[in-house]
A and B are shown apart, each in its own frame.
Chain A
Amino acid sequence: MNGATAGSSQGARGRSVAFSGVELRYGGKESPPVVVDLSLQIAAGEFFVIVGPSGCGKSTLLRLVAGFLEPNEGTVTAGGVAVTGPGPDRAMVFQSVDGPLMDWLTVRQNVAFGLKMQAKRTGQEFDPAVVDHWLQLVGLTSAAGKLPHELSGGMKQRVQIARILAVKPDVVLMDEPFAALDAQTRRILQRQVVELWQTEGGTVVYVTHDIREAVLLGQRIGVMRAGPHSDFRSLHTVDIGYPRDEFSPEFAGVARAVEAEIVEEVTRAWQN
Chain B
Amino acid sequence: MAELTDSATGAAPGTTPDPGGAGRLRAGLSGKRGAMLISALAVAITIVAWQIGSWNYNPQLLPGPAKVARGTGELSNSGLLWDSIAVSLERVFKGWLLGSGIAIPLGLLAGVSRFARAALDPFIHFFRFVPALALTSLFILWFGIGETSKVNLVAYAALFVVLITTATGASSVHPDKVNSAQTLGAGRRDVFLRVALPATFPSIFVGMRLALANAFLVIVAAEAIAAQEGIGFLIWNSRTFFRTDFMFVGIFCFGVLGFVCDRLWKLLGNTLLRRYLTGVGSY
Which residues of A pack against B, CB within 8 Å?
A: 66-68, 85-88, 90-92, 94, 96, 98-105, 113-114, 117-118, 120-121, 147-149, 160, 163-164, 167, 169
Known: A100-B174, A114-B185. A92 touches B180 (CB 8 A): yes
Contacts of A104 in B (CB 8 A): 198-199, 201, 275-276, 278
Query: Of B180, B194, B275, B279, which contacts A100 at CB under 8 A?
Result: B180
Interface check B76, CB cutoff 8 A? no
Q: How far is the CB of B57 from chain A (nearest CB, A)?
A: 54
A163 touches B184 (CB 8 A): yes
Min CB–CB distance A50 → chain B (angstroms) = 18
- The answer to whether A147 touches B184, judged by C-beta atoms less than 8 angstroms apart, is no
Question: A86 touching B182 by the CB < 8 A rule?
Answer: yes
Q: A100-B177, A103-B279, A147-B278 are contacts. A117–B186 as well, Cβ < 8 Å? A: yes
Contact B195 A102 (CB under 8 A): yes
CB distance from B251 to the nearest CB of A (A): 40
Interface residues of B (CB under 8 A from A): 174-177, 179-186, 190, 194-195, 198-199, 201, 275-276, 278-279
**A96, B194: Cα distance in complex, Å:** 20
User: Known contacts being A102-B177, A103-B279, is A92 close to B183, with CB within 8 Å?
Assistant: yes
A88 — nearest CB in chain B belongs to which residue?
B185
B176 touches A86 (CB 8 A): no
Residue ID in chain A nearest B195 by CB atoms: A102
Contacts of A163 in B (CB 8 A): 184
* Inter-chain contact B275/A167, CB cutoff 8 Å: no
Contact B183 A86 (CB under 8 A): yes
Instruction: Give the contacting residue for B174; candidates A90, A99, A148, A160; CB below 8 A.
Output: A99
Closest to A103 in B: B278
Q: List 16 A-B contacts (CB under 8 A).
A: A68-B179, A86-B182, A86-B183, A88-B183, A90-B183, A91-B183, A100-B174, A100-B179, A101-B177, A102-B177, A103-B199, A103-B275, A113-B184, A117-B184, A118-B185, A149-B279
- Cα A29 to Cα B279 in complex, Å, equals 39
Please list the 6 inter-chain residue pairs (A to B) with the smallest Cβ-Cβ separation, ordered nearest first: A114-B184, A88-B185, A99-B176, A117-B185, A86-B182, A100-B180
> Which residues of the partner chain A approach B186 to less than 8 Å between Cβ atoms?
113, 117
> Which residue from A86, A99, A114 sits with its C-beta under 8 Å from B177?
A99
Bound-complex Cα distance A32 to B220 (A): 59
A113 touches B183 (CB 8 A): no
CB distance from B94 to the nearest CB of A (A): 29
- Chain A residue numbers with a CB within 8 Å of B279 are 103, 149
Q: Which residues of B contact A85 (CB under 8 A)?
A: 182
Residue ID in chain A nearest B179 by CB atoms: A68
Q: Which residues of B contact A100 (CB under 8 A)?
A: 174, 176-177, 179-180
